[in-house]
């Protein structure tokens, strides 16, 4: 890959340094810690502009928009300081400016005074210490997802009104895959609502922000994602309707898996109302929100409500852990027509005790024989110690496929190519890895299974499992 300074030789313009910083009213800044470093992300928007000029001393910038639409921006930079206080001091010394002057939108990132010294690890993560800059016309063409992993592609991105600038720029940042991708597990939420949100909590600083379909589109479209299914992250009844409202005009959303509690007196009424919207594709019923699924499914009304779900042609999402498997066997025994999607199976802990482990795996094999049971291949990345055992904090997060291959092979052999689905679990998975890393790992694995397996995994199986609604021309269909 050619280095960014070579691109700068073509695109660099001399920019004024003495520019007053402007704070946009919609600008949001967050500072959070993940993967052993502190990060600051600034996001916001600017009015439409004909030209775009960028110059940053460090970090990565993403801009998307054009002369006929709002320009959305995001800039991130990192610190390996030993405390949040020290990291914030470093961030304060790196001034970011976003503004429009005439027909030109400007993005400037400048160190005020001397630049902090960097360790060898920091240099590896930040790449070249040289400033990055470019200037281009946004033109009349609307933005489109473009892979920015070479000089030629970078220039094409600039012409289209969308570009990613950073140090380093890697193919993982904008690798667009040729197969259309449906992401079957994405969470939408807005902590700024008067009632707030039940998840995430403010303590989950790296993901505690408003996340709506447009935010997901900006992240996922550059990788070739053409549609997503929202999966509930709230036990509040009204949030079933809220997701449908915020998705009404967002055509990247092809379905919602909501949260209705089977056994409640109004379950059937709300299921009927919600199902009138073709985006409503089912519910999740798992060990979440204080619910004990094993106890609940002993109640006749709960099973009657799950039959209503099946009769409506909708889908049940559930967990895949040791406690979940017996419940799923019971449900599929009694309601064999109900399609079930197991969430996050790679992330489900395998029991340590030999007898429990054998029973768990036997239960999964039995579910694997039932054609109405599907699996989301999500929550793959794990934090482990030096022996490879899971830990809640510290340790490391392996990125190489070889570490996760044995578990993925076991799932493949149990459920086969026709019942595995791509699911990013975004934003819940964000602290564990980038969207590109999450997608890249499973793409690498399934590519080795052949092109038919890739298509099934990334979109065909999701259509069978959820019967989602096509809303865009680039969303595939079996017809």
What pLDDT digit, counting tens, does each position of 174-197 carry?
568 999 999 999 999 999 999 999
pLDDT surpasses 90 at 393 = no
pLDDT surpasses 50 at 12 = no
CB atoms within 10 A of CB 82: 9
How far, in Å, are 274, 281, 285, 319 from residue 316 at the CA level? 15, 9, 7, 10
> Whole-model pTM?
0.67
pLDDT of residue 47: 76
C-alpha to C-alpha distance for 144 and 221, rounded to whole angstroms: 8
Confidence label for 99 from pLDDT (cuts 50, 70 and 90): confident
Question: Would you identify the CATH topology of the domain 181-466?
Answer: TIM Barrel (3.20.20)
- The pLDDT of 135-145, averaged and rounded, is 40
pLDDT of residue 121: 43
Question: Considering only CA atoms, which of 309, 312, 316 is closest in space to residue 340?
Answer: 316
- What share of the chain in percent tops pLDDT 90? 62
What pLDDT digit, counting tens, does each position of 150-173 carry?
444 434 444 444 444 333 333 344
Domain ranges of the chain: 4-173, 181-466
pLDDT surpasses 70 at 430 = yes
What is the residue-averaged pLDDT of the chain?
Answer: 82
Strand ranges (E), 300-383: 315-318, 339-342, 373-377
Q: Would you tell me the crossing angle of helices 401-415 and 354-368 to the nearest 10 degrees?
A: 60
- The residue with greater pLDDT, 25 or 210, is 210
pLDDT surpasses 60 at 383 = yes
At residue 330, what are phi and psi to the nearest 5 degrees? -65, -45
Confidence label for 321 from pLDDT (cuts 50, 70 and 90): very high
Confidence label for 11 from pLDDT (cuts 50, 70 and 90): very low
pLDDT surpasses 90 at 79 = no
pLDDT surpasses 80 at 46 = no
Q: What is the DSSP letter of 150?
A: S
- The pLDDT of 416-423, averaged and rounded, is 98
pLDDT surpasses 70 at 368 = yes
pLDDT of residue 336: 98
pLDDT of residue 87: 79
Q: What is the DSSP letter of 284?
A: E
Question: Considering only CA atoms, which of 334, 340, 348, 297 is closest in space to residue 317?
Answer: 340
pLDDT surpasses 70 at 345 = yes
pLDDT surpasses 70 at 316 = yes
pLDDT of residue 113: 60
pLDDT of residue 115: 56
Q: Would you tell me the crossing angle of helices 4-11 and 151-160 to the nearest 10 degrees?
A: 50
- The residue with greater pLDDT, 182 or 394, is 182
At residue 256, what are phi and psi to the nearest 5 degrees? -135, 135
407: left (phi over 0), alpha (psi -120 to 50) or beta: alpha
pLDDT of residue 104: 79
pLDDT surpasses 60 at 68 = no
C-alpha to C-alpha distance for 124 and 109, rounded to whole angstroms: 20
Name which of 90-104, 190-204, 435-449 the model is least confident about: 90-104
- The residue with greater pLDDT, 84 or 477, is 477
C-alpha to C-alpha distance for 215 and 209, rounded to whole angstroms: 11
Confirm if 63 and 49 have CB atoms less than 8 A apart.
Answer: no
C-alpha to C-alpha distance for 416 and 418, rounded to whole angstroms: 6
pLDDT surpasses 80 at 325 = yes
Residues ≥6 apart with Cβ < 8 Å to 116: 79, 90, 93
Confidence label for 385 from pLDDT (cuts 50, 70 and 90): very high
Q: Would you tell me the crossing angle of helices 267-275 and 237-247 to the nearest 10 degrees?
A: 0
Cα 55-61-66 angle, rounded to 5 deg: 90
Torsional sign, CA 441, 190, 251, 71: negative
């Amino acid at each position: 890959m050619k280095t960014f300074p070579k691109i700068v030789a073509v695109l660099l313009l001399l920019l004024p340094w003495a520019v007053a910083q402007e704070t946009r009213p919609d600008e949001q800044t967050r500072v959070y810690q993940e993967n052993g470093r502190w990060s600051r992300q600034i996001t916001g928007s600017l009015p439409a502009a004909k030209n775009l000029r960028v110059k940053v001393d460090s970090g990565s910038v993403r801009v998307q928009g054009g002369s006929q639409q709002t320009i959305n921006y995001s800039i991130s930079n990192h610190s390996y300081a030993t405390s949040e206080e020290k990291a914030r001091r470093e961030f304060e010394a790196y001034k970011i400016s976003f503004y429009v002057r005439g027909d030109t939108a400007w993005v400037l990132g400048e160190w005020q005074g001397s630049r902090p010294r960097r360790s060898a690890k920091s240099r590896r993560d930040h790449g070249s210490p040289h400033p990055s800059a470019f200037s281009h016309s946004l033109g009349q063409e609307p933005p489109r997802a473009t892979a920015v992993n070479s000089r030629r592609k970078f220039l094409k991105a600039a012409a289209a009104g969308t570009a990613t600038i950073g140090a380093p720029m890697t193919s993982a940042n904008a690798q667009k895959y040729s197969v259309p991708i449906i992401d079957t597990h994405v969470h939408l939420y807005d902590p700024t609502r008067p009632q707030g949100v039940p998840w995430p909590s403010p303590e989950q600083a790296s993901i505690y922000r408003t996340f709506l379909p447009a935010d997901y589109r900006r992240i996922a479209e550059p990788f070739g994602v053409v549609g997503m299914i929202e999966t509930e992250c709230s036990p509040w009844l009204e949030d079933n309707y809220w997701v449908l409202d915020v998705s009404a005009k967002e055509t990247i959303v092809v379905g919602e898996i909501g949260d209705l509690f089977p056994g409640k007196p109004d379950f059937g009424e709300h299921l009927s109302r919600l199902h009138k919207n073709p985006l409503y594709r089912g519910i999740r019923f798992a060990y979440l929100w204080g619910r004990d699924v094993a106890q609940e499914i002993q109640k006749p009304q709960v099973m009657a409500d799950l039959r209503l779900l099946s009769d409506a042609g909708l889908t049940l999402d559930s967990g895949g852990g040791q406690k979940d498997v017996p419940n799923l066997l019971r449900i599929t025994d009694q309601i064999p027509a109900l399609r079930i999607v197991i969430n996050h199976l790679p992330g489900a802990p395998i029991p340590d005790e030999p007898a429990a482990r054998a029973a768990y795996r036997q239960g999964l094999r039995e579910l694997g024989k039932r054609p109405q049971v599907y699996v989301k291949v999500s929550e793959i990345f794990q934090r482990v110690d030096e022996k490879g055992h899971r830990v809640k904090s510290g340790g490391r997060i392996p990125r190489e496929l070889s570490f996760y291959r044995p578990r993925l092979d076991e799932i493949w052999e149990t459920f086969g190519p026709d019942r595995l689905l791509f699911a990013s679990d975004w934003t819940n998975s964000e602290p564990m890895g980038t969207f590109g890393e999450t997608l890249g790992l499973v793409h690498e694995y399934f590519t080795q299974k052949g092109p038919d397996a890739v298509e099934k995994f990334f979109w065909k199986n999701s259509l069978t499992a959820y019967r989602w609604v096509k809303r865009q021309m680039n969303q595939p269909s079996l017809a």
